[in-house]
Structure 1
Amino acid sequence: MTIFDLIANSAKIPMPEGETADGICCFTGLRCPTLPRKDVLDKTFNKHEFLLAPDSDRVGVNVVRALSLKEE
């Protein structure tokens, strides 16, 4: 379990739209349900040093959910 899983599950963030597929998450390096990286990260994303699997073209669903959390 990753910090992204904990945040996504504890905040009860809804599942993102889009068709998921099993893959390697570029953020965590783990195999999990994912979405295409091109649909999640825009071209301005430049923090590639934070990616554990920078060559992966997938982003974990729980990473997407956690990153979508907005401060209230």
Structure 2
Amino acid sequence: MTSLYRAVGLDASYSHSGRRTFASRLIAQGHSLDTIQLLLGHSELDHVSPYLDVTVREQRDELSAFDQLDWD
């Protein structure tokens, strides 16, 4: 894929940015890490982690939901 970016004059880092966005959106839609690993073509699950990007907003939303749990 990197060679395709270079062939049209784009920086190869665009490839990683697109993969990160793709993986993050799949996670947001509830897809499993195993599925994302398969779609990104990685042989090891830990190779997926660099592509996962959790936004500050998503972090706040998750913490807010956790704070609202009834612990009684």
Q: TM-score, normalised by structure 2?
A: 0.26
State the structure with more CA Rg: 2
Higher RCO structure (Cα 8 Å, ≥6 apart) = 1
Higher helix share: 2
Give the TM-score, by structure 1 length: 0.26
